Structure 1
Amino acid sequence: MDSDLAEQSCGRGVSGATITFVLRIFFGTDDLDRIRVAERPDMSMELSLSVHGLVSGRCDPRFLDWRNRLRASWNPRTALLFDLYTPTAIPEFLAVRRDPGATESATAEAPPEPLRDHLRSVGGVRQLSAFARGVAAGDQRARKLLGNVTADYQTRAIDPYRRQIETIVTTEHGRRRRITEPDQVLGSLHPALSWRRPVLSFPLAGGCRHDIRLDGRGLLLQPCVFGPRRPVIARFEDPRQQPVLLYPARIGGPLQPEVEPTPSRTLTALLGHTRAAALEAIAAHGPCSTKDLAAVLDISTASASEHATVLAESGLTSKDRTGRTVTHRPTPLGRALLAGRVPEAE
């Protein structure tokens, strides 16, 4: 979001993330002990923030190449996503998964209540489009279209930059991890933030104020690549959720796409996209734990365990257990399948 617009407004969505900089966050003693810096990027939030940058017309030179490449492959239907935004609120129900097909399903099947609440807040700012009204009403065609458009945008705007985004965020995590004292972490997080125990504040003009009390929930500090140059608060309205403070990670230079190797069509047809990707990940990173496999594939640990079990039962990988940790490695048959050949009989 353009910083001038941010300072002029302090609106908030009912359930979406709120882009507001006139804010005070009150910490209790337990909250300071529950501060943590995210180890990996939140790709769903990266996608949502990247769309918001397009909606707001933010001209950040770091993203010039990214915007030009996106413009060259622009799908006009992507503009439907713009109907879900206001200058101060972004949707949190656009789900990104490693497999675009899973992204499509997860977004189309998002829980209806937060989706309706967010679009109700959008409707309070401007008239909803026919597409947004259909999504809010739970129309299956509109929901399916939402999933399809989100998945298509992911393949153009997020997937080619995944590795660079992950490197930027993990580097930021390592930098912050070396600072052990909560006061030092909060005090050095961003120039726009002011930390005076027990209050973290966004000191801005305009007279608008919003207070958040963590009440033992702690705070997740999430470095972001596509976020605005100032922090954003999200997921704070539900008392059962840990609030997230998204802040801009250091980006050394412009984003550059990297073509990651993808499973062959034959292998994908044989195993399915996610399972083929799991076999390739185990071959590339193995021996790797189930948790590591889940992180690489951007899926749950339970799903990673299920895919790894099927691969092991098929003789494509092997499993070793040390205590509670299970590690996976490719078998000769698995490597041969990845290489597109059949191993010789012994």
Structure 2
Amino acid sequence: MLRILFSRDDLTRIRVAERPDMSMELSLSVHALVSGVRDPRFQSWRDHLRASWNPRTALLFDLYTATAIPEFLAVRRDPGATESATARAPEAPLREHLRSVGGERQLSAFARGVADGDRRARKLLGNVTADYQTLAIDPYRRQIETIVTTEHWRSRRLTEPDQVLGSLHPAVCWRRPVLSFPLANRCRHDVRLDGRGLLLQPCVFGPRRPVIARFEDPEQQPVLLYPARIGGPLRAEAGPPAPSRTLTALLGQTRAAALEAIATHGPCSTKELAARLDISTASASEHATVLAESGLTAKDRIGRTVTHRPTPLGEALLAGRIPSPVTGPPVTGPEAA
């Protein structure tokens, strides 16, 4: 039994996430494969994975047990950024996690290399994570975002913390000031929030019962992962085309993705652009400024909000064509020399 103990301050610091945690969705989706749980809503997803599966991707299974789920696998909007972020995951949580895996079974050569900081093993970890993201997460990203956003707005209709906590999941028992639910290994553990509050994170690939994460670091707000309500089967859909290699080489990976996002979803605010790219608002503002100064986007102000839209030049670059330059009268005289 896990018991989460709330103070009065903690109850005022409860919030339901507005967007999915894609890194956690990826980790939980791998765990669903490892645990062999069969859910008809994910059958189409499993069939899609089976049809395009790269055997090397199974290396990710070496990082899991029935109860141990890695929190260091990073997902970014661009798989290349995912590869870099995962390969450079912080040492401490990575080693701590693999130490717990090693306590349940013998580590594979790959897992030992990752734990020991072997450069090739870390690079391979980033590579297979990016490959898995491309296959298992990206085609479903829009549906995952819709499910979690719907869950957020459903919770907004509940005005009291007691209503929110009491309606999370059938396995959860809320008796102020304690939230409790059974653990898979049947042990007992108490978590004191100590004023940090609690982030409630709906998860599409969430396990059948809630899971608490990031509670051991006193500087972090704990996260309670719980299964989101999924109305129907998860199905892949074609998203907008990624920026071309030529455009990426010209502008850089993130800036090309920013131009593509503005053209596809614009006009959009800087905050919306940051959310679409999974980057900070400050970084999104910097990229948007460079794009505007280059004539690829334009800014409009509506009240206090600045929105970004593509210019004809920006749209032409995305379409793979450059507008013809405006021609003037022929140059004569000394200037023509």
When the two structures are superposed, what TM-score results if normalisation uses the length of structure 1?
A: 0.90
Secondary structure of residue in 1 paired with 2:104: coil
Shift in Å at residue 187 of structure 1? 0.6
Structure 2 counterpart of 1:256: 235
Structure 1 counterpart of 2:117: 138
Unaligned runs of 5+ in 1: 1-21
What is the letter of the counterpart of residue 300 of structure 1? S
Match for residue 211 of structure 1 among 184, 190, 193: 190
Residue by residue over 1:39-72, the C-alpha shift from the partner in whole angstroms, topping out at 9 and shown as x without a partner, is 0000000000000011111111111110111011
Equivalents in 1 of 2:209, 2:88: separation in Å? 32
Shift in Å at residue 85 of structure 1? 0.9
Residue by residue over 1:232-265, the C-alpha shift from the partner in whole angstroms, topping out at 9 and shown as x without a partner, is 1111111111111111111111111111122234
Change (3 A) 1:35 1:268: same
Secondary structure of residue in 2 paired with 1:90: coil
Decide whether the 8 Å contact of 1:232 with 1:246 is kept in 2. yes
Where do 1:232-247 residues align within 5 Å? Answer: 232-247=211-226
Structure 1 counterpart of 2:282: 302
Shift in Å at residue 339 of structure 1? 3.0
- Identity across the alignment (%): 86
Where do 1:1-346 residues align within 5 Å? Answer: 22-203=1-182, 208-262=187-241, 263-320=243-300, 325-343=305-323, 345=325
Decide whether the 8 Å contact of 1:194 with 1:203 is kept in 2. no
Equivalents in 1 of 2:103, 2:90: separation in Å? 21
Unaligned runs of 5+ in 2: 327-337
Secondary structure of residue in 2 paired with 1:201: strand
What is the letter of the counterpart of residue 104 of structure 1? E
What is the letter of the counterpart of residue 87 of structure 1? A
Q: Could you say what the CA RMSD is over the residues aligned between the two structures, in angstroms?
A: 1.7
Decide whether the 8 Å contact of 2:258 with 2:287 is kept in 1. yes
Decide whether the 8 Å contact of 2:240 with 2:264 is kept in 1. no
**Structure 1 stretch 142-151 or stretch 200-209: which is displaced more?**
200-209
Pairs aligned (count): 325
Decide whether the 8 Å contact of 1:26 with 1:214 is kept in 2. yes
Decide whether the 8 Å contact of 1:65 with 1:255 is kept in 2. yes
| Bigger radius of gyration among the two | 2
Shift in Å at residue 124 of structure 1? 0.8
Decide whether the 8 Å contact of 1:231 with 1:247 is kept in 2. yes
**Structure 1 stretch 302-311 or stretch 133-142: which is displaced more?**
302-311
